[in-house]
Amino acid sequence: MDGDRAGGRRRSARVTAVGSDELTAAVAVDLPLRGEWTVVTTPAHRIPSHGTDALGLRHAYDLLRLDRRGRYHPASAARLLLRGVPTQECYGWGEPVHAPFDAVVVSAGDGAVEPDRVHPLVGAVHRVLAAATFRPTREGARRVMGNHVVSESGGRCAAFAHLAPGSIVVSAGDRARRGQVVGRVGHTGNSTSPHLHFQLMDGPDPLTARGAPCAFRRYEALRDGTWEPVERGFPRRLERIRSIA
């Protein structure tokens, strides 16, 4: 779910500075992705991280795979603007998404259509239209999340959004073990390029749940050209991170 308008209520809550006391109560979970990723939206930058509390987004993350040039695709700038990039050529598309803790699957929604191509202008228009037409209904939530999985354990719920069509391999009622693949990174719902949207909530229904603060248990962050180990951390905005198996 990209940007300030992902939930359709721009800045519906007061933005809190980094270092907020809210983060001290965070639950630490495993990274749901393997390999290197860039964190483009994070509560370490601001709270609400997406500019809204709607749909449990208060402490949500967006993770995108970028190359060393900071691009999410292999195309030239001219090709991107003229034709766009096939969705499946984008870095990160189809990468497995792993359960960050043992949990029971509450819902698994598939069937959302994925655009064949990614184009920055089309993506910008899509975001504006999504904000203008969003309604706090189940259908509205589905359109924002795209293909998604929600799992629950002990009152804490994890939501994974924008998954690729046909990639979800769990169903409601299944037990997803920590590290198990639940789906694959895609470009469905309110998404401008293939990425994973991940959040914790205090309930299974994004329409009524509140976003819960989430840290990642163990990972490495690229800082000043060196990979540094981090424990129970909150990745910074635009920081490159990787999981520790």
Reference 122, options 56, 190, 60, 31; nearest CA is: 190
Q: Specify the amino acid at residue 71.
A: R
Q: CA 71: distance to chain centroid?
A: 18
Confidence (pLDDT) at 11: 36
Confidence (pLDDT) at 81: 82
As beta bridge partners, residue 34 has none
Confidence (pLDDT) at 63: 98
As beta bridge partners, residue 27 has 214
* Grouped pLDDT means (10 residues each) for the chain, 245 residues: 42 46 91 98 96 95 95 88 91 98 97 92 64 76 94 97 98 98 97 96 96 97 97 96 89
Q: Hey, which bits of the chain come out as E strands? A: 27-29, 36-41, 61-64, 85-86, 96-98, 103-109, 117-118, 147-153, 156-163, 175-176, 181-184, 196-201, 211-212, 214-223, 226-233, 239-243
The ranges assigned to domains in the chain are 21-243
Q: What is the CATH number of domain 21-243?
A: 2.70.70.10
Q: Using one digit for the tens of pLDDT, what is the confidence trace for 62-85? A: 999 999 999 999 988 888 888 889
Q: Decide if 37 contacts 237 (C-beta within 8 A).
A: no
Q: Using one digit for the tens of pLDDT, what is the confidence trace for 194-224? A: 999 999 999 999 999 999 999 999 999 999 9
Confidence (pLDDT) at 3: 43
Confidence (pLDDT) at 125: 61
Burial of residue 184 (number of CB atoms within 10 Å: 0-12, 13-18, 19+):
buried
d(CA 193, CA 216): 23
